[in-house]
Amino acid sequence: MEKTAKVVIVDDEMISRGYMELFIKPSKNYEIAASLPFARDALDWCRKNELPELIIMDVMMTDGPDGLTAAAEIKKRYPRVKLVIATSMADMDWLEKARAAGIESFWFKTYSDLSLLEVMDRTMAGESVYPEKAPDISLGRLPVSNLTRQQRSILRLLTEGCSNREIGEKLHLSPNTVKDYLDDLMDRADIHSRTALAARASRLGIVVCEADRVRE
Amino acid sequence: MSSIQSAAGSFPWYLVCLISLTLMIGQIAVLVIMLHQGRGKSVLIPAFMQFLAGFFVYTALMDCAVLFLSTPKPYPLTAFEQWLFALPWGVYLGAEILLTAALAFGIAGVLRYRRSHLTPDVIRETVNYLPAAICVCEPDGTVLLANLKMDGLCRTLTKEPLNNALKLWEKLEQLRERGSEEGKDQLMVRTPKGETWLFFRDSFTADGKEYEQIIAEDMTEQHRITEELASENHRLREVQARMREAAVRERSLVAAREITNARMTVHNQMGNVLLVGKYYMDHPENIDEAELLRLLEYNNYFLLGEVEQPDPVADPFEEALRTAAKIGVTVEVTGAVPKGAAREILTQAVLQCSANAARHAGADRMTMTLTEENGELKAAVTNNGDPPAGPVRETGGLAALRRETEAAGGTMTVESRPVFLLTLTLPTEDRGKSTENG
């Protein structure tokens, strides 16, 4: 890269945003154009200012639209702007959502083997950088990488407080099938109650219920 | 019309005799009632005359029967008797009709009088129907008026009939419900059946004479509601105290949680700091060394700061006083608070006793008095709330306090009457060690 690329950082956590600024500042390739606390601010900023080359966007926001939704909107309106989703959650379904929205790269803040700068370099070079596998964390004794999409969907609805019947209705499964899935998860994770399973999955960020993510 | 003597023995004649007898009995009854009602002479004399008239007619009829139906005749007739018995029977019939009308008027008069005047019967009946128990007596206790309820209460409570009202009152004073607030002339008593009665006593003057009266009202339902409310209030006070404690803890927890979250975020970034270092080693041409060093300096400063900074632990005893204040109990400490193991035990005493004072006694002030004597520290803890209803059960915190006290070679006593008093005696530390006022 011959000239510095303008970067906008979007993260509602001050400490996390501060660290990203510190990581990016030493790089000669990037210039921080703005450091914003909310995803809706990024949309406004893009509307009012010269477009940045790259936006680093956190997902979970305490107010306004979440980062995934805002990033999809920015991509739709400003296709030239490259986006990197940065999150401390470990919800693998977000990778699919980000890919589907055309977002270039995805970075797990806490679990990645790549530095942010490397992800940014590769993104700016035209590469799409997505984690190849799930973060190396476990739900009890069950590695998150072993969870199937169906299991994650059931876990997500469980953290929303749905009963087996409600989970079955949303996923077109019978309540008994849902029960079998949950029993299997609890056995493999060595967690002995639905509540503990939901709480642990939520706390680790393995699944994030849609109501918590999408606030608008 | 034939005379009465010719009609003697006939059916009409027997009918008239029966009517005459009935009338006479009725007249006697009306006269007695009027006497009982205390009617005046203007009423009694006519009533008596009616009775005499009825009696005369009846006697005449009976004489007629004796004289004209029996054979031989028992005695010769006098001229008056001859004239009397020669009268047509219609005269006697007319007399009966008049006496019947007079009796009817008499009965109406009696009833009218009864409706419009207070008679002793009316008073008695009314008093007996009252929901309250009443007794009126002379100053020496001689009962003048008492309704059935008062008599029944007296028998239930004293096992004796109501003979003297003052003796009854003395017995009631011995039976009064403990803990109830009444004045000198009122007291609450519970019967063996569980009814609660409130007795009032006062004196009054009527017609220049002094009398005493005792009235009792059934307060069973109100007492039950009051006890339920007291129990509910007690429960609510406990809930309130727990909520206050929870609110205090919640605030601390929220603050602690935020600090923890911030620390976790920083620690989670440690890996990324290392990755930046690795990136620099792989791509030194892309990195401004000065900025990188600034990042490392910041990071190291934070890490070193965490290591060096001591935890600001407040004095636990002072913290305990603050915690007590936060749940609404101000603790006043008199005397020197020692350091060491005794201070820790006193800290526990402040925490446990203030929580119990708020939760169970509704207190807002607690005192801890510390004195030293013969090499022993004595701590007396009391509060300004309600005394315990009975002996204090030492569970949870109090039991733990006792264990710690006794393990330190001390003693603990808990009294519940007349007020809550917890007393700890602890061996003092060496005289050379310092103490400070709490």
Q: What is the mean pLDDT of each run of 10 residues along chain A (216 residues)?
A: 83 87 88 92 92 94 89 94 93 92 93 88 94 86 90 91 92 94 93 88 85 69
How many angstroms separate the CA atoms of A21 and B307, rounded?
25
A109, A145: one domain: no
> pLDDT band at B305, cuts 50/70/90?
low
A66: contact with B, CB 8 A cutoff = no
Nearest CA distance, B413 vs chain A (angstrom): 44
How many angstroms separate the CA atoms of A71 and B74, rounded?
143
A22: contact with B, CB 8 A cutoff = yes
B303: contact with A, CB 8 A cutoff = no
Cross-sheet strand order for the sheet of B133-137: B143-146, B133-137, B209-218, B196-206, B186-190
How many angstroms separate the CA atoms of B39 and B110, rounded?
10
A146, A42: one domain: no
Report the candidate in B254, B295, B305, B261 with the shortest Cα–Cα distance to residue A14. Answer: B261
A96, A160: one domain: no
Domains held by chain A: number: 2
> pLDDT band at B182, cuts 50/70/90?
low
The answer to whether the CB atoms of A25 and B291 lie below 8 A apart is yes
Q: Taking 60 as the threshold, does the pLDDT of residue B307 lie above it?
A: no
How many angstroms separate the CA atoms of B422 and B346, rounded?
11
Pick the range with the lowest mean pLDDT from B61-75, B96-110, B357-371: B61-75
Pick the last residue of a domain from A90, A124, A158: A124
Contacts of B291 in chain A (CB under 8 A): 25-27
More confident residue, B227 or A211: B227
| Per-residue model confidence (pLDDT) at position B304 | 63
Pick the last residue of a domain from A67, A89, A124: A124
Domain B130-218 belongs in CATH node 1.10.1740.10: no
A192, A147: one domain: yes
B301: contact with A, CB 8 A cutoff = no
How many angstroms separate the CA atoms of B426 and B143, rounded?
64
The CATH number corresponding to B316-437 among 3.30.565.10, 3.40.50.1360, 3.30.413.10, 3.10.20.600 equals 3.30.565.10
B296: contact with A, CB 8 A cutoff = no
Q: What tens digit of pLDDT does each residue of B418-433 get?
A: 889 999 999 875 443 4
- Note whether residue A130 is domain-resident: no
CATH number, domain of A172, equals 1.10.10.10
Strand partners for B365: B330
- Note whether residue A133 is domain-resident: no
Mutation test of the interface with chain A: which of B263, B264, B270, B275, choosing the one with the most A Cβ atoms within 10 A? B275
Residue A27 C-alpha from the chain's centroid: 25
A16, A111: one domain: yes
A117, A172: one domain: no
Mean pLDDT estimate for chain B: 83
A143, A119: one domain: no
- The pTM for the full model equals 0.46
CB pairs under 8 A between A and B: 65
Nearest to B266 among A15, A109, A117 (CB): A15
Mean pLDDT estimate for chain A: 90
Tell me the DSSP string of B37-72: HT--HHHHHHHHHHHHHHHHHHHHHHHHHHHHHSSS
Nearest CA distance, B364 vs chain A (angstrom): 40
> In B, residues 246-285, which contact A (CB 8 Å cutoff)?
262, 265-266, 268-269, 271-273, 275-276, 278-280, 283, 285
The answer to whether the CB atoms of B272 and A116 lie below 8 A apart is yes
How many angstroms separate the CA atoms of A68 and A97, rounded?
8
- Note whether residue A65 is domain-resident: yes
The answer to whether the CB atoms of A26 and B276 lie below 8 A apart is yes
Q: Which residue has the tokens 């005047």?
A: B117
More confident residue, B333 or B375: B333
CATH number, domain of A40, equals 3.40.50.2300
A34, A71: one domain: yes
User: Would you state the structure tokens that stand for residue B362, as one six-digit string?
Assistant: 């509704």
Sequence ranges of the domains in chain B: 4-117, 130-218, 227-308, 316-437
- Note whether residue A129 is domain-resident: no
Contacts of B287 in chain A (CB under 8 A): 26-28
Nearest CA distance, A77 vs chain B (angstrom): 31
User: Would you state the structure tokens that stand for residue B403, as one six-digit string?
Assistant: 């264990």
**Overall residue count recorded for chain B in this entry:** 438
Contacts of A117 in chain B (CB under 8 A): 276, 279, 283, 286
The answer to whether the CB atoms of B286 and A109 lie below 8 A apart is no
> pLDDT band at B434, cuts 50/70/90?
very low
Q: Per-residue b/e over B174-212, b at no fewer than 16 CB within 10 Å?
A: eeeeeebeeeeebbbbbeeeeebbbbebeeeeeeeeebb
Task: Check if the beta carbon of residue B182 is closer than 8 Å to that of residue B197.
Answer: no
A33, A73: one domain: yes
The answer to whether the CB atoms of B279 and A115 lie below 8 A apart is yes
Q: Which residue has the tokens 């059946």?
A: B193
Nearest CA distance, B335 vs chain A (angstrom): 48
- Note whether residue A55 is domain-resident: yes
Q: Taking 90 as the threshold, does the pLDDT of residue B136 lie above it?
A: yes
A176, A109: one domain: no
Domain region containing A83: 5-124
Helix (H) / strand (E) containing B304: helix B289-308
B15-19, B180-184, B309-313 — most confident range? B15-19
A93, A16: one domain: yes
Q: Taking 80 as the threshold, does the pLDDT of residue B177 lie above it?
A: no
Task: Check if the beta carbon of residue B44 is closer than 8 Å to that of residue B30.
Answer: no
A192, A119: one domain: no
CA dihedral A73, A77, A78, A79 (to 10 degrees): 80
- Note whether residue A10 is domain-resident: yes
